[in-house]
Structure 1
Amino acid sequence: MKKHAVSYAIIRFQPHVETGEFANIGIVLVAPRASYLDFRLETKRLGRLTSFFDSVEGTTIRGVLKSYHTELKRIRDLAGYTGSGQRRFEFELSDNAEHLFQALTKDREGIIRFSEVRFAMTACPKSKLDELFEYYVRRNFASSIYREGLLEKQVRGFLKLRDIGRNFKPMAFSDGLYSAKFPFVEIVEQEPLMVLKPIYLGQDEPTRILDHGNKWLFTINRLKEKLPPNVVFAVEGPKDSPIRKRAFQEAVDLFRANDIKVVDAGDENALVSAIEQPA
């Protein structure tokens, strides 16, 4: 399959030029030889922007992104066809798309900025645009495994700070057919007394939240006879979206119904209390 050379830039929201802080909010991509110019802009999941740039009103952020989305659509239309099969310009469409892309991504002052232009090869520019958006804006690399790795580092820091981390070691348990490794198992006089497992339950979809929660519930129930009596889940849930929060709460309720203690992974005091005062 023929591959196309594409150029793309990351669209950034930078309300405070003085600090240089920004957040990725979209991607604009051009494939000149394929006469393709398109973009994707985040206009719905704005929790990250409103919490990070807390000095900017949420209504202001939404207004800026809505207006810019309209402007990007106008520019995209300029690079395309009228709908009647006739080009809007007499010169080559590929030139038009590339020139518009270069003008759009030119460095200038303002709340909306662009990264440096980057390059890639792809057989499908639209799929590449979606892929780049999911990576740079939605951060799909931040899977539950990745996020749980970050939670493990956070919990390890808490334990070290309270000088209780020395009793916790990674340890695997198995019933002969099924096995699982836990990053924190409290061992006293060579006897495992507690399992502490950080779990990320902030996935993009409610189904994925419940699936991941059920995976660890199955693991605990399957290995119940092999595990120490105390099991603690340090969880992180979604920060927005009522439906995702409902799924998260359902997963937490299932944990507790199965005698698993649940604490907020970000609450150091609650975490330490659960360790020092096991059920």
Structure 2
Amino acid sequence: MKKHAVSYAIIRFQPHVETEEFANIGIVLVAPRISYLDFRLETRRLGRLTSFFDSVEATTIRSVLKSYNLELKRIRDLAGHNGSGQSRFEFELSDNAEHLFHALTKDREGVIRFSEIRFAMTDSPKAKLDELFDYYVRQNFAGSVYREGLLEKHVRGILKLRDIGRNLKPMEFTDGLYSAKFPFVEIVQDKPRKVLKPIYLGQDEPSRILEHGNKWLFTINRLKEKMPPDVVVAVEGPKDSAKRRQAFHEAVEQFRVNNIKVVDGRNENELIGAMER
């Protein structure tokens, strides 16, 4: 399959020029030889923006992105995009895809900025655009396993700061057929007294949130005869999407129904309170 040389830039939201802080919100990509120009812009999952730039009203952020999305569509249409690729017609010099790309990504003042232009080779410009968007904006490399690791690291930091972590050790429990390792087990007189397990429940799909919650619910229930009765799960859930939040609340409720304590893994007071009882 023929390879295409593409140029792309990361679209960034930077409301405070003074601090130079920004968040990646999209990708614009051009394949000059086939006159392909397209973009992807995040307009739905705005929790990361609203929490990071908490001094900017959520309605303002939505309005800016909505307006810019329309502007990008207008520019894409000028290049002749037809939804599945590029229409082939004679371009005016000022309207060809490569010229529009460079005009669009030129450094200028405003809350929407661009990274430096980058280059790649690809069989499919559209697939490459989706891949870049998933990586730089949706951060698909930061999957649930990675995020659960970050939550565990955060919890460990809090426990050490409060001088609680010294009596906590990782421990594996098994019934002979099934086993699982828990990162924080309080040991008192050489016996496990309490178990704390950070669980990330902010997966992309509601079904995956429920599946991950059910996995650990099954694990704890299966091994409950081998574990101390005092089990705490420190959870982190999604910050946007009503359906994902609903799935998160259902997963949390299942833990509680099964007499498993649930605390907010990002709330220091809840964590400390659960471990000091």
- For normalisation by structure 1, the TM-score amounts to 0.91
Task: Report the alpha carbon displacement of residue 76 of structure 1 after superposing the two structures with TM.
Answer: 1.0
Tell me which residue corresponds to 2:216.
Answer: 216
C-alpha distance in 2 between matches for 1:174 and 1:261: 21
Tell me which residue corresponds to 2:89.
Answer: 87
Q: Secondary structure at the match of 1:48?
A: helix
Which string of whole-angstrom CA distances, capped at 9 and with x for unpartnered residues, describes residues 88-119 of structure 1? 525699xx222221111111111110001112
Alignment CA distance shift 1:271-1:92 (3 Å): closer
C-alpha distance in 2 between matches for 1:2 and 1:175: 56
Task: Report the alpha carbon displacement of residue 160 of structure 1 after superposing the two structures with TM.
Answer: 0.9
- For normalisation by structure 2, the TM-score amounts to 0.92
Q: Which moved more, 1:248-257 or 1:117-126?
A: 117-126
Task: Report the alpha carbon displacement of residue 176 of structure 1 after superposing the two structures with TM.
Answer: 2.7
Task: Report the alpha carbon displacement of residue 86 of structure 1 after superposing the two structures with TM.
Answer: 5.6
Tell me which residue corresponds to 2:8.
Answer: 8
Tell me which residue corresponds to 1:108.
Answer: 108
- Counterpart contact for 1:256–1:262, Cα < 8 Å: yes
Tell me which residue corresponds to 1:63.
Answer: 63
Alignment CA distance shift 1:120-1:179 (3 Å): farther
Tell me which residue corresponds to 2:127.
Answer: 127
C-alpha distance in 2 between matches for 1:107 and 1:72: 16
Q: For residue 42 of structure 1, what is the amino acid of its counterpart?
A: E
Tell me which residue corresponds to 1:49.
Answer: 49
Q: Secondary structure at the match of 1:235?
A: strand
Task: Report the alpha carbon displacement of residue 206 of structure 1 after superposing the two structures with TM.
Answer: 1.3
Q: For residue 118 of structure 1, what is the amino acid of its counterpart?
A: R
Which string of whole-angstrom CA distances, capped at 9 and with x for unpartnered residues, describes residues 120-155 of structure 1? 222111111111111111122222211111111111
- Counterpart contact for 2:30–2:36, Cα < 8 Å: yes
Task: Report the alpha carbon displacement of residue 56 of structure 1 after superposing the two structures with TM.
Answer: 2.3
Tell me which residue corresponds to 2:167.
Answer: 167
C-alpha distance in 1 between matches for 2:143 and 2:255: 21
Q: For residue 89 of structure 1, what is the amino acid of its counterpart?
A: F
Tell me which residue corresponds to 1:185.
Answer: 185
Q: For residue 62 of structure 1, what is the amino acid of its counterpart?
A: R
Alignment CA distance shift 1:128-1:82 (3 Å): closer
Task: Report the alpha carbon displacement of residue 212 of structure 1 after superposing the two structures with TM.
Answer: 0.9
- Counterpart contact for 2:151–2:198, Cα < 8 Å: yes
Uncovered stretches (5+) of structure 2, i.e. residues with no partner: none
Q: Secondary structure at the match of 1:182?
A: strand
Task: Report the alpha carbon displacement of residue 255 of structure 1 after superposing the two structures with TM.
Answer: 0.5
Task: Report the alpha carbon displacement of residue 249 of structure 1 after superposing the two structures with TM.
Answer: 1.0
Task: Report the alpha carbon displacement of residue 48 of structure 1 after superposing the two structures with TM.
Answer: 2.0
Alignment CA distance shift 1:218-1:82 (3 Å): closer
Task: Report the alpha carbon displacement of residue 174 of structure 1 after superposing the two structures with TM.
Answer: 2.2
Q: Are residues 1:74 and 2:59 paired?
A: no
Q: Which moved more, 1:247-256 or 1:25-34?
A: 25-34
C-alpha distance in 2 between matches for 1:178 and 1:122: 45
Q: Secondary structure at the match of 1:28?
A: strand
- Counterpart contact for 1:78–1:88, Cα < 8 Å: no
Tell me which residue corresponds to 2:232.
Answer: 232
- Counterpart contact for 1:81–1:87, Cα < 8 Å: no
